[in-house]
Amino acid sequence: MAADMFRLVFAPPHRAGMPFILGGVVALVIGAFLAHWLAWLGGLFALFCLYFFRDPERVAPGRSTVLLAPADGKIVTVQPAPPPVELGLGPAPRWRIGIFLSVLDVHVNRIPADGTVTRIAYRHGAFINASLDKAGDDNERNAIAIRLLDGREIAVVQIAGLIARRILCDLREGDAVRAGARFGIIRFGSRTDLYLPEGVRPLVVEGQTMIGGETVIADLSA
């Protein structure tokens, strides 16, 4: 257990955090010559960014019939809702699982299941607290539709939060994706929603803590 915690806290940073980490180091070096307060500020900022942008390795379960959590964090909503209209998946409600990522969580997003990216749509919006239910509808977001190997479709939505102002996504429409693979990151504090295929029910409840790329959210064969 102690070894697992060590690997989580001291995991290498995601490349998206390197400009921030280097900025803190530069401030530390300059402050060492000009002002100690700047050195302390730069050092603390670099350490915070090293922690925030950590990117630990994850091992996805070897089961093709399950959907995995797309992010670390706490589940704040489990309820039926229509998927984002910009994805063209229809108006029928399906189960939506909302995961809130605090600044203490790993913020790297991961693919829930094997499949193909069919649609990516970015929508500008508000920046309210991502833990609120209306954040899934009102906040700035990046929505991704994935067609599973059996032809059914899911949606993953990266949602900006109160502090977050930058959503990064490495995917392109037409990409073949693998369960547990990294696909993006959100800075700093955010939310990630997963829309299940129609007729599939979740195996999780509000308040549970998720591990992105490892925790099973639903069983497609159930």
Q: Which residues are catalytic?
A: 190
* Number of helices followed by number of strands (H, E) in the chain: 4, 13
Please, which residues bridge with residue 122 across strands? 142
DSSP per-residue string spanning 46-89: HHHHHHHTB-------S-TTEEE-SSSEEEEEEEEEPPPGGGT-
Of 105, 99, 129, 125, which Cα lies nearest the Cα of 194?
99
Amino acid identity at 121: A
Give the 3-state DSSP-derived string for 13-47, with helices as H, strands as E and coil as C: ECHHHHHHHHHHHHHHHHHHHHCHHHHHHHHHHHH
